[in-house]
Structure 1
Amino acid sequence: MQFQFENSFDVKEKINKSKIAILPIGAVEAHGAHLPLGTDNILAERLSEKLAERVNGFVLPTLPYGQVWSLRNFPGSINISNNSLIRFIVDIGESLYKQGFTTFAMVNGHLGNATAMKEAARELFETCPGMKVLYLFYPGMNKAAAEVRETKSSHGTYFHACEIETSYMLYLAPEYVDMDRAITDIPDIPMSADVTPTPWEDFTSTAVLGDAKLATEEKGKYIIDIALENMVKLITE
């Protein structure tokens, strides 16, 4: 159910029957030449729609800007602060709580949002007792990705416009992928990037972290289906 297309006369009864709100959170940032700037928004939206179908939840309008400090200097990237993102999420969560929602699931499409989402969830834990708040980022994907990837990950945590994320897009939103422009770029990311502020232009000029040419719809479906199953369990159990 798309929350924004409901009307005020009918929505209260529907909330009473569902009580699950799903918020896609993405970002606008560089994703190479083969993926759009809004890749993280698109993935979060499409995944949220699939999740809502399985748990009978409402999909809220997407929060389309994220903390993209690392990529803020690439053409097209739009960065907001963690503090701004936290305040948005908390305000939305508290509004949902007042409307009668008992589950607030954030579906994240951008790793850089993770810190703000966790902090917002902690604040909502205090202000909205009884509302279950989840911050979800492809749960279980690491094991699943390791089973299908053909190239070694360029980083233990990061995946970006690469074999994995491009596969997600080929499965969830193939109309936005231009595989003719996919490249192989596996940068050497220094250990210091994990412990110091490091703009990504220090180690990549493309914002691609891997071999995007190896992406397939099948790989994307395999990982996404596992993540989706885990999301459903986390919400319903």
Structure 2
Amino acid sequence: MPCAILPIGAVEAHGPHLPLGTDNLLAERLARRLAERTDSFVLPTLPYGQVWSLQNFPGSINVSNEALVRMLYDIGESLVRQGFRIFVMLNGHLGNAVALKEAARLLYRDYPELKVYYFFYPGAKEAINEVRESPSSHSSYFHACELETSYMLYLAEEHVDMSRAISDPPEIGLEADCTPTPWETFTQTAVLGDATLAAKEKGERIIEATLAAMTAMIQEAKQRIHTGKEK
């Protein structure tokens, strides 16, 4: 029951201390570690994503949800033909979530024999609560802040310039959850919090927790397929 992992990221502003390809680096390096633990195949990274919220920041490249869904569906369809039974879309960018879920639903409809996961740091909540020192700027968003910078320090430290890290927590009103809201309306830096509090040890604690959660799900899916309980 071969398992394929597709790292999916984006190209967008990540403040002065992180590269435009931060989401790609995180997804790719997380995918490699997950593959080692689950004996899975890592596909080449899909480097562009839906970055509507940050599309007006220099360096950001936006892809529509429709294009992303079509691409992911076609990849999944190809994997079925190659004999894969598990398709993991390992997401490094929250903005991709809607497209990943829609692609997974379409694949579920047309290829029910293919188990599809869309992962975005599952199982990380408890670890985040343990190590986080700064308050969250939003209930869902984290970006170039204490958390994401800590992830980078653990997975791709050579791409982080902590001498340029800043603290710039925005005020994000309730309306931002109820109407289209470009991020430049509440941040000029794309940093949603205090990046100066980031630490490699924090990143390790959170990343290892989410790796454990993803590994458990994949191994359980393999077992169900092996026993014929998931078809």
Is TM (by shorter chain) over 0.5? yes
Ranges of 4+ aligned residues in structure 1 off by more than 2 Å: none
Structure 2: 5+ residue runs without aligned partners?
A: 221-231
Whole-angstrom distance in 2 between the partners of 1:211 and 1:43: 19
Which amino acid is the alignment partner of residue 160 of structure 1? H
Q: What is the distance in 2 between the residues matched to 1:30 and 1:80? A: 15
3-state DSSP of counterpart to 1:210: coil
Q: Counterparts of 1:149-164 in structure 2 under 5 Å?
A: 149-164=132-147
Q: Which residue is 1:111 aligned to?
A: 94
Aligned pairs for 1:20-39 (under 5 A) are 20-39=3-22
Give CA-to-partner distance per residue, 1:49-97, whole Å, 9 cap, x none. 0000000000000000000000000000000000000000000000000
Whether 1:58 and 2:36 are equivalent positions in the alignment is: no
Equivalent in the alignment of 1:185: 168
**Map 1:1-237 → 2, pairs under 5 A:** 19-237=2-220
| Paired residues, number | 220
Structure 1 residues 90-141: Cα deviation after superposition (integer angstroms, max 9, x where no partner): 0000000000000000100000000000000000001212110000000012
Q: Residues of 2 paired with 1:142 and 1:75: CA distance?
A: 31
Q: Compute the displacement of 1:148 (Å).
A: 0.5
Cα displacement (A) at 1:142: 2.2
How big is each residue's C-alpha offset from its partner over 1:169-195, in whole Å with a ceiling of 9 and x where there is no partner?
A: 000000000000000000000111111
- Which 5+ residue runs of structure 1 have no aligned equivalent? 1-17
Q: Distance in 2 between matches of 1:114 and 1:144?
A: 22
Letter in 1 for 2:30: L
Q: Percent identity?
A: 67
Distance in 1 (CA, whole Å) between partners of 2:58 and 2:124 is: 29
